[in-house]
Every structure is written in structure tokens, then in C-alpha cells.
Structure 1
Amino acid sequence: MSTDTTEATERQTRLVGLAARDVVKTFSVKGKENLVLDTINLEIPKGEFVSVIGPSGCGKSTLLRIFADLIPVTSGTAVVDGISPQLARADRRLGVVFQQANLMPWRSVLRNVGLPLEVEGRGKVARDATSRELLELVGLAGYEKHLPRQLSGGMQQRVAIARALSTEPDVLLMDEPFGALDEITRERLNQELLSIWGRLRPTVLFITHSIPEAVFLSSRVVVMGARPGRIVDVVDVDLPYPRDPGARTDPAFHAAESRIRALLATAGGH
């Protein structure tokens, strides 16, 4: 490979927020290898918001966990912010939010948000100041002293998002963070999440089972087929940002929804 080609490749890699290159993942169960992800190729530029949708068990969460450095690939390569998931996690470039908020019940909201900063070794004054800023960002100013049990499910998830943002990650990985919430709360948090993303612009990979949610949030929606997980297609969402609830009535919104539904029907369900 020439020097020019090598430099061009390195420049392109630096512009990548997330990439899966020929990623294969198998799990061994009772001595038998089960193929979960089958040759996944996906590239998400820095700062893009992309959702992944597909039937239960298709490997959506497995793909996210590979990017989060929670499980290794069997073969292929995963790239996070231009480097390996292991290095990205060690460098605090990753924020992860799961379906359950996983807050520490004995810590106040403020101390839950500041936990990653405490682990980093930052002083109390600095981490409290950052935590307060983030709580204001997610609409929870005034709840600093509350315990998680005193919050609704939606509020707990906002605390989890604030905690994930505390280290100023370049990449935000979200695994069905609103899946357990009622539709009204879910739509409100969709709007708040887009507002946060618009201000901070991390690269976002968002796992969901909701077609309207995927379309509303994303610039592109990755549709996966039934196990072994594979990418069936990537649907562009032709709606400008910023988006408000009126976007859900736009013909482009319904066109993307219809396309995704058709692909899921062909791919083996939803």
C-alpha cells in the first residue's frame, strides 16, 4: 500500500464514529457454536444518529455490546471513534445507556451522575459542578438530592443519560433505553434526547423495537434480519433536523416507516 493510500485510510478512519467490518460473532452453547452475527458491515460517520431495528434475537444488542467492549468479536474488526473498542473505553470516549437505568439506590441523583467522574479521580467540587450542569441539560435541575426510588421510570432514565454523558463521550451507545416506558413518556424523552444530541453531537447508535421511534430520532435506520443477524438494508430518513412532534405527520416519516415495515416483514418479523 502506498504512503498516500495509507494516509487517506487513516484520515477516513479518524472520521468514523463507529464501524463494523466483516464482524462475525458466535457463542458456544453446550459445545455447539451458534452464529449470532453474520458478516456485519456498517459505517457511521462522527456525529450521526443511527438506529438499529430488527426481530428479537437478531443480534442488535450483541452488536452494541461489541462496540461497548463488553464482548469481543469472533472475527472481523470493530472501530469506535477511530480506534478499537478497548482503547475507546479506556479513553472514556464511550457512554452506554441500557433499558434499565441501573442507578445505585443508596446514592443521590447528583452522586449517581457523578460516579464515572469519581472513578476517574476528579475532585468533588468539579464533579458536582459537572453533574449539576448535566442534570439541568436533561431537565432534572432541583432533583440533585433525590434518591432513585423517588423518581419515575422516565426520570431515572434521564439520570442514566446524564451519567453516560458525564465523561463527555464522543460515542453514545443506547440499548432500548425507553423500551419499558409508556408511549407518552417515550415520545417526550425522544424529543429531549434529540435536543441533547443536537447540542453535544456525539455519534449515537440506538437500539429499538419501535419503528416510529427509530424514524423520529435517526438520519438512517439499520434493519436487521432474523438470526443469524445480518443487515438487510439501511433506510435513509429524509427529514431535516431539528425535529419536532410535527415530523411524525410528514409524508417522508410515513414513507420511511412503511419501508422499514416491509423490510422487517421480509426479514422474518418484528
Structure 2
Amino acid sequence: MARLASSAVPVAIALHGVSAGYASPVLHDIDLEVGNEVVAIVGRSGSGKTTLLRLIAGLVEPTSGTVDLLGVAPAVARRRKRIGFVAQDARLHPWRTVRENVTLPLEGGRARSVVYVTHDIEEAVLLADRVIVIGGRPAGVLGEVRISLARPRTRAMRREPGFHDLVEEVREHLE
């Protein structure tokens, strides 16, 4: 199970034994806990990354297992405005930069949990505190990589050997 390393970090998002699908199973027995951190979900096309994100947002119901956001169901968290969801084809505010658009849901000063989906392993390593790799049919968690790079992170970090080691570690889980 992909979990937090320290129980001192409060769990904001918890998936326990979650399976989901449409005409056929997509995700199977996903266990994942996210605290106040940035988590990237990486996997091949069609591996269920977006379905996992939609489960967390409460846009899809699991066929088994539970999803909790701050101790409540995703629908309750949405009504209380405790969760934001940005789709891949999100409409951006033209007066904001890309960075300002992406960080809009984080404004407000409180610690936040961010889960996002990407195919770009380098992007995941640069932005995330943890990278969760999913895959298989139906998909499960193949691996987890903790990203120990200092913050703030810059593009120049991509040239550091430690960065490439982390990228390769994520890539190995996909193979």
C-alpha cells in the first residue's frame, strides 16, 4: 500500500481497498493515503489515472472500498468547498499565468493536499513530494517514489544527477 511515511502528517485523502470500473474493471484494490503534500499519479495511457482522480473528486463511485477526504465522503467535501478539481481540458483564466492558474485552488494559506495526473515523469519528479505509479489490467499501485529534492525546485535541478536517479526509479516501476 502507498502510505505516508510518518503518522505525524494528517491524512487528508484516504482510499482503502478501492476498485472501480465501467464496462470492465479499471482499478483494483487501491490503497493510498495523502497528507498535506503534492502527489503525482503516473502510469501508461489507459491505466486508470484519471479514473483514480475522479474517484478522489467524487465524480465516480467505487465499485468496492472507501474514499474519504478529511474524514468525509467526497460529495460532502465538495459541498463544503474542501476540494477542487481541475480537468485536463480545464478552462483557464486568460489574465493569469500558467503557474497562477494551476495554483489557484491552493490560494487561501492553509496546508493543502494536491493529487495530479501526468504522463511526464520529469514533471512529476520536479513538482511532487511523492510519485505513485499505477498500471496493470485492472490497475493497481506498482510503486511509490519519495522525492527528496529541496524546495523551491527549479528547472536547473533537471541537470543534477540526483534528479535523473529519481526519474529512473519511477521509470523502473513502469517497466
TM over 0.5: yes
Moved over 3 A (4+): 155-161
Query: CA contact under 8 A between 2:16 and 2:32: conserved in structure 1?
Result: yes
CA distance in 2, matches of 1:89, 1:49: 19
Instruction: Give the alignment partner of residue 98 of structure 1, picking from 66, 87, 90.
Output: 87
- Opposite residue 17 of structure 2, the aligned amino acid is D
Residues 76-225 of structure 1: matches in 2 within 5 Å? 76-102=65-91, 109=93, 140=96, 155=97, 158-159=100-101, 161-162=103-104, 164-165=105-106, 168=108, 201-225=111-135
The corresponding residue for 1:54 is 43
- Opposite residue 226 of structure 1, the aligned amino acid is G
The DSSP-based 3-state class of the residue aligned with 1:83 is coil
Report the RMSD for the aligned CA atoms in angstroms: 2.3
The corresponding residue for 2:14 is 19
Q: Can you give the 5+ residue segments of structure 2 that lack an aligned partner in the other structure?
A: 1-6
Q: Deviations over 1:97-151 (max 9, x none)?
A: 1221236xxxxx59xxxxxxxxxxxxxxxxxxxxxxxx7xxxx3xxxxxxxxxxx
TM-score where L is the length of structure 1: 0.57
Alignment pair present for 1:37 and 2:27: yes
Q: Deviations over 1:149-200 (max 9, x none)?
A: xxxxxx47844753x457x5xxxxxxxxxxxxxxxxxxxxxxxxxxxxxx65
Alignment pair present for 1:246 and 2:156: yes
Query: CA contact under 8 A between 1:24 and 1:76: conserved in structure 2?
Result: yes
TM-score where L is the length of structure 2: 0.85
- Opposite residue 137 of structure 2, the aligned amino acid is R
CA distance in 2, matches of 1:214, 1:159: 18
**Structure with more contact order per residue of length (Cα contacts < 8 Å, sep ≥ 6):** 2
The DSSP-based 3-state class of the residue aligned with 2:174 is helix
Greater share of helix residues, 1 or 2? Answer: 1
- Opposite residue 88 of structure 2, the aligned amino acid is Q
Once the 2 structures are TM-superposed, how far is the Cα of residue 89 of structure 1 from its aligned partner? 0.6
- Opposite residue 16 of structure 2, the aligned amino acid is R
Structure of higher CA gyration radius: 1
In structure 2, the CA distance between the partners of 1:157 and 1:98, relative to structure 1 (3 Å rule), is farther
| Equivalent pairs, count | 168
